Amino acid sequence: MNAENLSVFPAGKPNDAYAEYFTGQSYLAMLSTEQVVIGNVTFVPGCRNHWHIHHADKGGGQILLVTAGRGYYQEWGKEARELKPGDAVAIPAGVKHWHGAAPDSWFQHLAVEVPGEHCRNEWCEPVTGEDYGKLG
């Protein structure tokens, strides 16, 4: 298994620009950079992003469309939701969350940035090994 044969979408390049906000290696391919911004994010097994919040004064948030592998989405204070290809996750603006691969599986999703006013991301603490370790 490698990043390039996971789905019909390109995996892109190592996600160096956001590496400090991820635990483990991820890849990013920008599929759309105008109108609605859409990136394809690929996570190696065990890789996940830090807790973060998509802020906006109006609208905003993020939609994940799962294209390959197995992973998780978790909102602060809630149980993690297991994700498989074909799943969609609507993440409202202002909700603290993380997303990433299962410990033993690659994972890939399209990340759709929902347009809004004054959209910005707030990156918080890493998902601890204790919390992540509870997931199968």
The identity of residue 64, as a single letter, is: L
* Residue 4 C-beta: closest distance to Mn ion, Å: 24
Q: Which stretch binds Mn ion (CB under 5 A): 22-30, 56-64, 71-79, 126-134?
A: 56-64
Residues 87-126 that bind Mn ion (CB under 5 A): none
CA-CA distance, 94 to 13, in Å (whole number)? 29
* Residue 5 C-beta: closest distance to Mn ion, Å: 25
Options 7, 15, 23, 62; binder of Mn ion; rule CB under 5 A: 62
Is 45 or 61 the residue whose CB approaches Mn ion more closely?
61
CA-CA distance, 15 to 50, in Å (whole number)? 14
- Cβ distance 36 to 112 under 8 Å? yes
Q: Which stretch binds Mn ion (CB under 5 A): 3-11, 60-68, 76-84, 101-109?
A: 60-68
Binding marks (x or -) toward Mn ion, 12..41, rule CB under 5 A? ------------------------------
Is 4 or 57 the residue whose CB approaches Mn ion more closely?
57
**Residues in contact with 98: Cβ distance below 8 Å, sequence separation at least 6, in sequence order:** 48, 49, 50, 51, 52, 73, 74, 127
* Residue 52 C-beta: closest distance to Mn ion, Å: 6
Kind of pairing, strands 26-32 and 13-14?
antiparallel
CA-CA distance, 55 to 115, in Å (whole number)? 11
Residue (of 97, 66, 102) closest to 79 by Cα position: 97
Residue 67 binding Mn ion, by CB under 5 A: no
- Could you list the residues that contact Mn ion (CB under 5 A)? 62
